[in-house]
Amino acid sequence: MVSRIAVVGAGVSGLAAALHLADAGCEVTVLEKSRGFSGRAASRTREGCRYDFGANYFKIGSNSVARLIFQTLPTEGLSRVLGDITAFNREGELLPPDPERNRHSRWTYRDGISSLGKRIAALDTFQVIREIRIRRLIEEKGTWSLESDDGTVFGAFSAVLLTPPLPQTADLLRESRFDHQARAELIADLEAVAYHPQFSALLAFEEEIRLPGDAYALINADRGHDLAWVSLENRKARRVPAGQSLLVAQLSPDWTRRHYESNPAEVVGHALAETGRLLRHDLPEPVWTDLQRWRYAHPADRVATAAMSAVAADGLYFAGDGLIGRGRVDEAMESGFAAAAAILRRIGGV
Ligand SMILES: Cc1cc2nc3c(=O)[nH]c(=O)nc-3n(C[C@H](O)[C@H](O)[C@H](O)COP(=O)(O)OP(=O)(O)OC[C@H]3O[C@@H](n4cnc5c(N)ncnc54)[C@H](O)[C@@H]3O)c2cc1C
C-alpha cells in the first residue's frame, strides 16, 4: 500500500523532503499557512524591482543539493550573485579581504530566490495546499490527522514531517493529541532553541550606489554594529532597472530585539542613517522603501535530538534549519532530504 505522508510547511526544507518522498513513491501532501512557496527564502516585486527580502542567496554545499539545482530543476534563470562580501567591525571599519568568505559561489534565480521552492512544487510530484495553518495533530492507533485553524481535518497519514521554526513547532505540538513518554521532553527541547529576529529594510534610489571595493555586500563580523548586513540587490541579474539602486539593509538581531515594536518609519530611518555612516556618505532620500520584520530569522542553536529520535518510531519527524543550528537555505534542504530518508527507512520503502 502507498504510504501517505503529510509535510507541514512549504519552506525549502519541507519541499525538498516532499520531493524526495514523492520520488520514492509516497503520496505526499504539503500544508502551508501562507500564499507563497519557500518560506524565509522570500521574494517580492515593487516599482519594477524584484528583490529577496529574507535569504539573500543560497550556496551549494552538498551533492544532493547540487543534483537538485543543476539536474532536477530547470536551470533557466539560475544566476550567480556577483561580487565579494567584505566584513566590517562594530566601529564600521572595513576589515581586510577574507578569501575564505568568498570561496564558494552564491546563487539565486532571476525571478527571485523564492523561485527555488516554486520550481520544486512545479515538478508536480506531490500536492501542496496553501493558506492552511495547521493548528494541531491528532494521533490515533498509529495514524496521524492534521487539523487546521478553520477546523478542517486532513488525514489519515502514516507519518508527519514538521518544518516550521522550532518555537512554532513547539506551539503546534502543545495543542496536539498524541501520547508518548518523550512528549514533554520533546516540547522542552524545541522551546529551548532561540531564534534571532531580524529587520530587513529595502532602500531604493534613483541613482547608482556602489559599496566600497565594488563589493556585493558588507557583513558585520563582530556583531557589535546596529547593521548586520548591507547588500546591493542590483548585483543580481535583471532585478533592478538600469541607473537605479536597491540596498538591502538588515538590522542586527540585538537592535531588532530592542526595537521590535517600533514603527516602520523609525526602523527604516535608522537603517538609512546607519548605512550612510557605514558607506561614509550621506545617502539621498530613497524613492521608496520596504520593511520586513522576521520574528524567527535564524536559529541561535541546534535542537537536541534524543526526544526527536524517540518519537520518530511513532511516525513524527522534523526538518528545517533548527536542526542545523544556523540559517542556511542549502543546509535546510539537506535536513529535509535527511528527514525524508529517515521516513523511508521506517516505512521500508513503499
Ligand atoms: C533576513 C534573513 C536573511 C537570510 N539570509 C540567508 C542567506 O543569505 N543565505 C542562506 O542560505 N540563508 C539565509 N537565511 C536563512 C534561510 O532563509 C533559512 O535557513 C531557510 O530558508 C529555512 O528554511 P526552512 O524550510 O527550515 O524554514 P522556513 O523557510 O521558515 O519554512 C517553514 C514554513 O512553514 C510554514 N508554517 C509555519 N507554521 C505553519 C503551520 N502551523 N501550518 C502550516 N505552515 C506553517 C511557514 O509559513 C514556512 O513557509 C536568511 C533568513 C532571513 C530571515
Ligand 1: centre distance to CA 11 (Å): 6
Residue 342 CB contacts under 8 Å (≥ 6 apart), including other chains: 312, 317
200 in the same domain as 293: yes
Between the alpha carbon of residue 205 and those of residues 223, 240, 287, the distances in Å are 27, 10, 6
pLDDT given at position 142: 87
162 in the same domain as 98: no
Residue 41 lies in a domain: no
Ligand 1: centre distance to CA 329 (Å): 8
The mean pLDDT value of the chain amounts to 96
Q: How far is 339 from 320, CA to CA, in rounded Å?
A: 9
Domain membership of residue 202 as a residue range: 49-61+80-107+195-299
Q: pLDDT grade, residue 106 (50/70/90)? A: very high
pLDDT above 90 covers a percentage of the chain that reads: 94
Say if ligand 1 is within 6 A of residue 116 CB.
Answer: no
pLDDT given at position 349: 56
Q: How far is 15 from 21, CA to CA, in rounded Å?
A: 10
What is the bridge-based pairing of β-strands 143-148 and 195-205? Answer: unpaired
Ligand 1: centre distance to CA 219 (Å): 20
Ligand 1: centre distance to CA 86 (Å): 25
Residue 204 lies in a domain: yes
Structure confidence by residue, pLDDT tens digits, 159-200:
999 999 999 999 999 999 999 999 999 999 999 999 999 999
57 in the same domain as 23: no
Structure confidence by residue, pLDDT tens digits, 236-271:
999 999 999 999 999 999 999 999 999 999 999 999
**Are 310 and 180 in contact, with CB atoms under 8 Å apart?**
yes
Structure confidence by residue, pLDDT tens digits, 62-78:
999 999 999 999 999 99
Cell of 215: 563589493
Say if ligand 1 is within 6 A of residue 164 CB.
Answer: yes
Average pLDDT on 13-23 reads: 98
182 in the same domain as 292: no
Structure confidence by residue, pLDDT tens digits, 270-304:
999 999 999 998 899 999 999 999 999 999 999 99
pTM: 0.97
Q: How far is 5 from 30, CA to CA, in rounded Å?
A: 9
Q: What is the phi-psi region of residue 119: left when phi exceeds 0, alpha when psi lies from -120 to 50, beta otherwise?
A: alpha
pLDDT given at position 282: 84
pLDDT given at position 97: 84
216 in the same domain as 286: yes
Structure confidence by residue, pLDDT tens digits, 47-58:
999 999 999 999
Helical (H) or strand (E) element with 196: strand 195-205
**Are 6 and 22 in contact, with CB atoms under 8 Å apart?**
no
Residue 283 lies in a domain: yes
Q: pLDDT grade, residue 2 (50/70/90)? A: confident
Say if ligand 1 is within 6 A of residue 331 CB.
Answer: no
Q: How far is 237 from 106, CA to CA, in rounded Å?
A: 13
Q: Which of 31, 329, 335 gets mutated to test ligand 1 (max ligand atoms within 8 A of its CB)?
A: 329
Query: 350: closest CA among 91, 26, 36?
Result: 26
Ligand 1: centre distance to CA 87 (Å): 24
Say if ligand 1 is within 6 A of residue 83 CB.
Answer: no
Would you give the distance in Å from CA 225 to the centre of its chain? 23
Q: How far is 8 from 14, CA to CA, in rounded Å?
A: 7
CA-derived radius of gyration, the chain = 21
Domain CATH code at residue 169: 3.50.50.60
Say if ligand 1 is within 6 A of residue 297 CB.
Answer: yes
Say if ligand 1 is within 6 A of residue 168 CB.
Answer: yes
273 in the same domain as 180: no
Say if ligand 1 is within 6 A of residue 250 CB.
Answer: yes
Atom of ligand 1 nearest to the CA of 332: 26
Atom of ligand 1 nearest to the CA of 15: 25
pLDDT tops 60 at residue 231: yes
**Are 307 and 173 in contact, with CB atoms under 8 Å apart?**
no
Residue 148 lies in a domain: yes
pLDDT tops 80 at residue 228: yes
Ligand 1: centre distance to CA 40 (Å): 3
pLDDT given at position 221: 96
Residue 341 lies in a domain: yes
Domain CATH code at residue 252: 3.90.660.10
267 in the same domain as 317: no
**Are 58 and 119 in contact, with CB atoms under 8 Å apart?**
no
